[in-house]
Amino acid sequence: MKKFFLGGIALFLFLLAGCKNEPSQTESPQEKLPTGSTELLAMVMMDGKYGYIDTLGGFKIEPKYPLARSFSNGLACVNVDGVRTDLINGAVGGEYIFIDATGAVQFDGKTFSQPTSFYEGFAPVRMPDDKVGFINTSGTLIAEDFDAMMPFSEGLAAALDMENESIGYIDSSGTWKIKLHVDYTLGDFHQGRTFFMKDEKYGFLDTNGQEVVPATYEGTYDYNDGLAAFLQDDLFGFLDLDGTVAIPNTYEDVADFSEGLCAVQKDGKWGYINKHNELVIPFQYTAVRSFNEGIAAVQLDGKVGFITADGNWLVEPKYGNALDFKNGFAIVQSDLKLGYINRKGVEVISPRFERADNFVNPQDSNPILKVN
């Protein structure tokens, strides 16, 4: 579950779990991908360096970067000449460049001072004067002079202008579409809605900046599957797109709806409900993730396995942790190393990586899973 907040500016990643032929562990010779390739690639770290593997586990771009991000819109941001350190959860020094799916440097080698990623065809970048702007996939600067920005979502990006005490949303030309005073805290748009916080209460705005849900709640999550979680009196329920309570607040904690199901917690245990608030998978798990591709990771007796939407085991609990399925693969952790299983539950790439991200189509808009 992921939420973005723009006010100060902070990024929060919420992870619920907490929660065959095996490829050779020797590195395969690098094969060049054609420009614009849609072959799935995953960013992984081995021996303290990031590279990119294919679905057989062979490196398509060798591990040589102290920090990197997954491909999105055909490009990936990587660090060169920096030093990897866990003290700041990233790299110290060096510069950031963009590469394509062959590993070729883009934008004539133009460098950036901070890591960034493309989404919906644009990437925020920090300028030499410490202001923030954004570029398109040709490396052209579209707009600048903001103090902070979030990635575009549904055609709008949250932006902050401290000099003019303005916060709101800009379009892909850099024009303000929603402009508010800086005492607001904003999220990003999902299904035509974004949460906002004012006076420590949460509500939702539409794409015209209208308050479709007044700031009355203790907390909210993003809309997914037409529903958004709200927190009131320390218990969670769900609102529909009009702000009407669709599911009463009776749960200790919740995830997001996904594929018609949502993980909810009662008496310290997790189960799954449908949109009619019917319990379809009983409360029994100590930690869970949302359903993706018909499968969800769950924790039972200290180990993580995978269940199908009928509650049956696809993979019995045996892993230390796991992430959601994406493009037919899920990341699993064993002995503090990361590998991948397929939708049959088969371990197709043995856990051997220090860090890993999802397999993605490099040309798609892929949200950031991990920032380091």
Paired strand residues for 249: none
Give the pLDDT confidence of 316-330 residue by residue, as tens digits: 999 999 999 999 999
pLDDT at 9 over 80: no
Token digits of residue 123: 């990437």
Sheet holding 303-308, edge to edge: 287-288, 295-300, 303-308, 313-319
pLDDT at 362 over 70: yes
CA 156 to chain centre: 17
Give the pLDDT confidence of 50-96 residue by residue, as tens digits: 999 999 999 999 999 999 999 999 999 999 999 988 777 788 999 99
pLDDT at 103 over 80: yes
Token digits of residue 83: 């030093």
More confident residue, 317 or 27: 317
Q: Please state, in angstroms and as integers, the Cα–Cα distance from residue 314 to each residue in 15, 309, 322, 338, 345, following that order.
A: 21, 10, 13, 19, 6
pLDDT band at 37 (very low <50, low <70, confident <90, very high): low
Give the pLDDT confidence of 326-358 residue by residue, as tens digits: 999 999 999 999 999 999 999 999 999 999 999
Give the pLDDT confidence of 244-277 residue by residue, as tens digits: 999 999 999 999 999 999 999 999 999 999 999 9
DSSP readout, 206-254? Answer: ETTS-EEEEEEESEE---BTTBEEEEETTEEEEE-TTS-EEEEEEESEE
pLDDT band at 139 (very low <50, low <70, confident <90, very high): very high
Give the pLDDT confidence of 204-260 residue by residue, as tens digits: 999 999 999 999 999 999 999 999 999 999 999 999 999 999 999 999 999 999 999
Q: Which domains does the chain have, with CATH numbers?
A: 2-256+356-360 (2.130.10)
User: Which of 223, 219, 268 minimizes the C-alpha distance to 242?
Assistant: 223
